[in-house]
Amino acid sequence: MVLKKQTLSIHDVYVPVKRRQTLDLQKVEALAESMMEKGQETPILVRPYGQRFVLVEGLHRLEACKALGETTVPAYFVQARRH
């Protein structure tokens, strides 16, 4: 199965509270610096939920995009259980 990369509005990605608690601002800063040099190499993983998307993997990448002022983020859709 090949995952198809999509571009999503950052506004449409919901981050569950449990996942948000694992945020490390130093990682976000380092990723943002790397993204400025190389671009975002690995898309985030999301699952559809109504009109929005729930973050499955990639919190630090998502937050680095926000820190850089991006309005969209590359993502793969996955089938995942709810936590």
Range of the domain at 17: 5-77
pTM recorded for the entire structure: 0.87
Residue 30 lies in a domain: yes
The number of folded domains in the chain is 1
Residue 82 lies in a domain: no
pLDDT, tens digit, 9 for 90 and up, residues 24-49:
999 999 999 999 999 888 999 999 98
pLDDT, tens digit, 9 for 90 and up, residues 45-83:
999 988 899 999 999 999 999 999 999 999 999 876 655
Any idea what the CATH number is for the domain that residue 15 is in?
A: 3.90.1530.10
Residue 83 lies in a domain: no
C-alpha R_g of the chain: 12
Residue type, 17: V
Q: What DSSP assignment string belongs to 18-74?
A: HHHTT--HHHHHHHHHHHHHH---S-EEEEEETTEEEEEE-HHHHHHHHHTT-SEEE
Residue 43 lies in a domain: yes
